[in-house]
Amino acid sequence: MARADEKGREVLAEQTRELIMNLEKELVGKDFFGGKTVGFLDLVAGSVIPFCLERGWEGIGLEVISEEKFPEYKRWVKNLEKVDFVKDCIPPKEKHVEHMNHMGQIIRSA
């Protein structure tokens, strides 16, 4: 059973990588999706992918989006982390990973 879960996780991770590659292509040469300033897409994608999904994956020990394969995406995340109103909304990483693990346990036990 654990082996099937691992295989399923890797399939989902690979599907995610394919989707993130689309974002990677859109970010080439830009600080944010709209260019030099933060826009709606940055806020929506930026709140879900790096600060929820990635931290959840980290909690289960799965690296889905590496800096080596997605340098533009990782640069974009670093740019987002520098924006004051974004920084104010991001929970501390350790507490957030712990919360994401807890939520995962709740979902798995349901």
> Residue 32: what are its φ and ψ, rounded to 5°?
-140, 170
- Where residue 61 sits, what CATH number does that domain have? 1.20.1050.10
Give 3's pLDDT tier (boundaries 50, 70, 90): low
Which pLDDT tens digit goes with each residue over 20-54? Answer: 999 999 999 999 999 999 999 999 999 888 888 88
Which pLDDT tens digit goes with each residue over 51-82? Answer: 888 888 887 778 899 999 999 999 999 999 99
Full domain range(s) for residue 52: 2-109
**Phi-psi region at 33: left, alpha or beta (left = phi > 0; alpha = psi -120 to 50):** alpha
Q: Give the chain's domain count.
A: 1
